Amino acid sequence: MPKKTTKTLRSYRWYGPDTLRTFSHRSRAASMGCIQADYAGKPVIAIINTWSDLNPCHSQLRECAEDVKRGVWQAGGFPVEMPAMTLGETFQKPSTMMYRNLLAMETEELLRSYPADGCVLLGGCDKTTPALLMGAISMNLPAIYVPAGPMLRGNWRGQTLGSGADVMKYWAERRAGSIGQQAWLEIEEGIARSAGTCMTMGTASTMTSVAETLGFSLPGASSIPAVDSNHAKMANRSGRRIVEMVWEDLKPRDILTAASFQNAMVAVLALSGSTNAVIHMIALAGRAGIRVTLDQFDELSRRTPVLANLRPSGKYLMEDFYYAGGLPALLDALSPHLELACATATGKSIGENIAGSEIYNSDVIRSLDNPVFSSGGLAILRGNLATTRWTRESTIPLSMSTRTRYWCCAMRVPKALPACRNGATCPSLRNC
């Protein structure tokens, strides 16, 4: 049963009543070619798009927005695309981290200040995922996350290249003098072969997996390569689903619970995901009034096996992960560690979403009895100032003030130190 009626839609206040102001809204909609039948009584779906010419991870998002719109129209909604600042990891300085909260604010205020009944969030590059979600959680309108999707595998002289890790690896080799300028240029042109986010289990895929596990994306969405036609179909389906979610009034804070955050933490650990997830998940939870602690991460890390054999801590890339069954297959294998009753954007529980998912390559996605590592790759460290009451002397107007503080940090623990062909030890690139 729909919980919303046409007159209780948020957008009704902009379009519905017979007033001077709503006349302006309708007349200006008309100036863009819209007739009343396009939007009257329909959920207005804001497609928040972080496309930019300076964000290669999102270079396909203009086409992706069209796929979402098609789904929204088909389901009886009125799609409106709204550009938001992009956080392009490679180009933005001094750090995209400085601007995560600005995009979060922009997302929240775009949704608040315009006639949006629900939203589809288009992001994927590292900080865009937490930023868009933080804004949407704070605004608490029905929301679906459409992740940009990872790039195809990199390729250099027949060798598979992975984002980030191989840059550091071959940069070290170049500085050591073992590869030359020509090889370096070939690597430069071979490591990023398509639109999409880094295709290792870096922050982008870690955070899109978090979004999916929290229940913000359709099942499997985070694993689909950006340029696979299944990605366009996922975007289309997301557009259809968000319209239903508006009528059902299914909002982020109806979905998010302490248990869903714990599920996402377990997923990060089983993926051997990025340490940056710790920071972003604490922030996301803070927007929902839920407390996520460093101790939870550490405790879960000790008992969560790594099942995804993905770089930088394993062997394969996101394209392989998708073909092996993707995140639903991994979560299904991990199900004894999950709270399966958690709600999701589909309207079903996460347990229902992943039921029956199969693993198609048991080396890429391992089972609980054959994990990559028996425990997680994150450790929370505390140190010699942990019990010191330390009064900050500075006058910088930061939010932290005099209080007991712990010296805390997250660490990605290298698990394997196999010998490389060149005889050097290498913590992660086991196939190098």
Q: Which of the residues 17 through 76 are near another protein (CB under 8 A)?
A: 19, 21-22
Separation between Cα atoms, residue 91 and residue 79, nearest integer Å: 30
CB of 139 to another protein, least distance (A): 9
Write the CB contacts of 77 (distance below 8 Å, at least 6 apart in sequence).
42, 43, 44, 45, 118, 239, 242, 243, 246
1/20 with CB nearer another protein:
20
Write the CB contacts of 348 (distance below 8 Å, at least 6 apart in sequence).
none
Give the interface segment with another protein, choosing from 26-34, 67-75, 283-291, 336-344 (CB under 8 A): 283-291
| Residue 396 makes contact with another protein by CB under 8 A | yes
| Residue 263 makes contact with another protein by CB under 8 A | no
Give the interface segment with another protein, choosing from 16-24, 54-62, 212-220, 241-249 (CB under 8 A): 16-24
8 Å CB contact between 313 and 428: yes
| Residue 193 makes contact with another protein by CB under 8 A | no
74/90 with CB nearer another protein:
90
* Residue showing tokens 């608490």: 140
The number of residues that bind another protein (CB under 8 A) is 99
Give the interface segment with another protein, choosing from 70-78, 162-170, 223-231, 324-332 (CB under 8 A): 162-170
**Considering only residues 35, 54, 172, 341, which one is a binding residue for another protein as defined by CB under 8 A?**
172
* Residue showing tokens 């839920």: 290
Residue 26, token pair as written in the block = 């309708």
Residue 168: count of CB within 10 angstroms of its CB:
11
By CB under 8 A, the residues from 122 to 161 that bind another protein are 126, 134, 138, 140
158/397 with CB nearer another protein:
397
Separation between Cα atoms, residue 72 and residue 336, nearest integer Å: 36
By CB under 8 A, the residues from 312 to 341 that bind another protein are 312-313
| Residue 383 makes contact with another protein by CB under 8 A | yes
8 Å CB contact between 155 and 233: no
Give the interface segment with another protein, choosing from 210-218, 229-237, 269-277, 319-327 (CB under 8 A): 269-277
Burial 376-402, CB ≥16 within 10 A → b, else e: bbbbbeeeeeeeeeeeeeeeeeeeeee
CB of 169 to another protein, least distance (A): 8
